Amino acid sequence: MMKNKRVILQDWGLTDYKVAWERQEQLFGETVKLKTEIRNRQSLVVAGDEPGDEILTPNYLVFCEHPHVYTLGKSGKAEHLLLDEAGLKEKNAVYYPINRGGDITYHGPGQLVCYPILDLDNFFTDIHLYLRTLEEAVILTLAHYGLTAGRYPGYTGVWFDGDNDKARKICAMGVRCSRWVTMHGLALNVNPDLNYFKNIVPCGIDDKAVTSMQRELGREVNLNDVEKILTQHISVLFGMEVA
């Protein structure tokens, strides 16, 4: 299969989580279906039939924000949500168990969410490298603002002081991958209301803090600027042609 490095950039703005999830599923499903068709055409080539023009799978890089929402990954525990239905209503938040990896996390205004819907056959077929590359893009983005971040051994995401007792998480990650097509992604805390994290055990880790760029810098940060810088680092690290 020929590789397609071209990536379609989309900004969905402030989008309800369920709506964004359904839109992801549609793009994801279309790509998986297309890969099946490509494999079938390739089998015709082996059989000696004429396949016609080469078909390339698409790639998408989606950015958005969500209204207040808590999402629970497949490996998470429901008790890590510390609110009942009345509490969710009081906080003007909703809750969804979803099909990504990881435990529970929060999304809300001021948080930059990135959903890469990529056919990794176009880049590299290594899910661990995929996660580490996304982390590296976030680390480089934070460095642009003078913030020194890194990793916390044994966990995904991006942290400050991951090697000592001051460890605090600034970017959560959770992905789904099928037939090397990805969905879901990362959530970078730029200017969110961090009080919402007090209503969960973030990512199932009950003894570490959560932080934001605003808290670390002592000022609000322009979300659109962060999106542009993060896009640039993702495109370079993956060798993408972003359009």
Mean pLDDT of 141-169: 94
Tokens, residue 53: 């023009």
pLDDT tens sequence across 193-229: 999 999 998 766 666 799 999 999 999 999 999 999 9
pLDDT at 38: 86
Q: Would you call 203 a catalytic residue per the annotation?
A: yes
pLDDT at 51: 52
In what helix (H) or strand (E) does residue 209 lie, and over which residues does it extend? strand 209-210
Measured at the CA of 125, the angle between CA 160 and CA 102, to 5 degrees, comes to 45
Beta strand ranges found along 39-83 (DSSP E): 60-65, 69-72
pLDDT tens sequence across 89-122: 999 999 999 888 888 899 999 999 999 999 999 9
Q: How far apart are CA 60 and CA 70, in angstroms?
A: 24
User: What is residue 93's three-state secondary structure?
Assistant: coil
Q: How confident is the model at residue 10 (pLDDT cuts 50, 70, 90)?
A: very high
Q: Which of 64, 114, 177, 203 is catalytic?
A: 203
pLDDT at 53: 57
Q: How far apart are CA 45 and CA 53, in angstroms?
A: 12
Strand partners, 150: 159
pLDDT at 45: 52
DSSP annotation of 155 reads S
26 compared with 74, residue with greater pLDDT: 26
Burial of 235 (0-12, 13-18, 19+ CB in 10 A): middle
Mean pLDDT of 122-146: 97
Q: What is the pTM of this model?
A: 0.92
